Amino acid sequence: MHLYIHVPFCKRRCSYCDFAIAIRKRVPGNEFVEAIKREFDLRRASVDVGERLDTLYFGGGTPSLLSNAQLAELIGFFRAEIGPATGGQETTIEANPDDVTEEAVDAWIGAGINRFSVGVQSLKPNVLEWMHRPHTPDDCLRALNTLTAARAESVSVDVIFGLPAELHADPVGDVQRLMDCGPDHFSAYGLTVESGTPLAKWVNRGAVKSVSDENYAHEFLQLHDLLTGAGFEHYEVSNYALPDKRSRHNQVYWSGKPYLGLGPSAHSFGAGVRRWNLREWAEYQLTMRTGADPVAGEETLTPEQRLLERWYLGLRTVAGVRTSDREDPFSATIQAAVDEGWLVVREGRVCATPAGWLRLDAIVASLTTSLEGG
């Protein structure tokens, strides 16, 4: 079983963020814990007898804003209700660098957290300020060194590239410095402009100019060369890992396996059906207090949608998609992408090249057109 918990609370909203978050001076952690427990009670019917918890992921938002006791209570609750997998449970927490202290890390490891995803994003003070991040470069380096000193089992670092030129960001230099702190996993995300965010407003009024496609691609390929040259495997479009340090939980999403999501805006998937919860914390909390179901909607994927999703998710990964001559709707599109150098076919699988990962949305759009007979 694979379980995702969405913790929506944040100190402030980052300039690029369109996630479902709740800005709170006082984090209502106890109320959140009780709401998650109540929702799990509603979902018990979807948990097969004999299933064991293989991956547990606290995402957000900022899960590290929950107290050590609240996190330990939730982990203990799920282990008691479901039980850990015999092969060892991967338990991940997303953390802001300024929340990572020796005391917190000791408590998190003691509670069973063995994978830490640290939202560094940049080591440039002006870039962090522009992003509205609540931490400093020194906080980032101190956090990673604290985790290394505590012998954390796995440490992942988030960085953002493709930032506006006027910021003079240096994601490649940042990653070079961060590698010295010993993380075994990097997630490198290209900046995107999402509607309704402060960044979108800046772009719309001309205060910020988006990076050119050429510079975006150049930074992506520079990061790719740096990390793969240092022994990190580029196993998913945005993710790099040292041997045996891939995120087991995230691979569940990319492989189309079932998972259960709890909390505001959390998604669940299984048997071809995708469900999602109410987005806002206040509405979710009120619904849970009344004992009602917080599901906001669901969709049953058609065979065509499942086929497209298999290709979209598969092409995100280094494993690619197993193919056959029976998938005639896509054969011409695949061959065209191969001719462009965006895809390769090896051992019966279609895989994206680094250049192809940069054009993944365009490739999938072409697959969609092929399927619709365009």
| Partner residues linked to 346 by β-bridges | 349
**Does residue 292 form part of some domain?**
no
Q: Is 182 exposed, middle or buried (0-12, 13-18, 19+ CB in 10 A)?
A: middle
What is residue 51's predicted lDDT score, i.e. its pLDDT? 79
Check whether residue 233 and residue 362 sit in a common domain.
Answer: no
**Does residue 311 form part of some domain?**
yes
Check whether residue 247 and residue 307 sit in a common domain.
Answer: no
**Does residue 341 form part of some domain?**
yes
What is residue 353's predicted lDDT score, i.e. its pLDDT? 94
Please say which residue of 254, 284, 312 terminates a domain: 254
Q: Is there a contact between 186 and 175 (Cβ–Cβ < 8 Å)? A: yes
What is residue 328's predicted lDDT score, i.e. its pLDDT? 61
- H/E run at residue 189: strand 185-190
pLDDT < 70: residue spans in the chain: 49-50, 324-328, 373-374
What is residue 300's predicted lDDT score, i.e. its pLDDT? 97
Please say which residue of 231, 254, 277 terminates a domain: 254
**Does residue 205 form part of some domain?**
yes
Read off the amino acid at residue 211: V
**Does residue 262 form part of some domain?**
no
What is residue 75's predicted lDDT score, i.e. its pLDDT? 95
- Name residue, tokens 């309704």: 196
**C-alpha span between 351 and 320 (Å, rounded):** 4
Check whether residue 248 and residue 307 sit in a common domain.
Answer: no
Alpha helix segments (H runs only) across the chain:
29-43, 68-81, 102-111, 125-131, 137-149, 171-179, 198-204, 213-229, 248-255, 281-290, 303-315, 328-340, 354-358, 360-371
Give the CATH number of the domain where residue 21 resides. 3.20.20.70
**Does residue 120 form part of some domain?**
yes
What is residue 52's predicted lDDT score, i.e. its pLDDT? 87
**Does residue 220 form part of some domain?**
yes
Distant-in-sequence, close-in-space partners of 141: CB < 8 Å, separation ≥ 6: 123, 177, 178, 181
Residue 329 belongs to domain spanning: 303-371
The C-alpha angle 22, 25, 28, rounded to 5 degrees, equals 65
Q: How many domains does the chain have?
A: 2
Check whether residue 340 and residue 235 sit in a common domain.
Answer: no
**C-alpha span between 267 and 277 (Å, rounded):** 7
Check whether residue 329 and residue 201 sit in a common domain.
Answer: no
Please say which residue of 219, 254, 289 terminates a domain: 254
Check whether residue 217 and residue 71 sit in a common domain.
Answer: yes
Smallest Cα–Cα separation from 164: which of 132, 202, 138, 135? 202
Check whether residue 63 and residue 201 sit in a common domain.
Answer: yes
Chain CA centroid to CA 246, Å: 13
Smallest Cα–Cα separation from 248: which of 83, 70, 117? 117
Q: Is there a contact between 61 and 14 (Cβ–Cβ < 8 Å)? A: no
Q: Are strands 154-161 and 115-121 parallel, antiparallel or unpaired?
A: parallel
**Does residue 290 form part of some domain?**
no
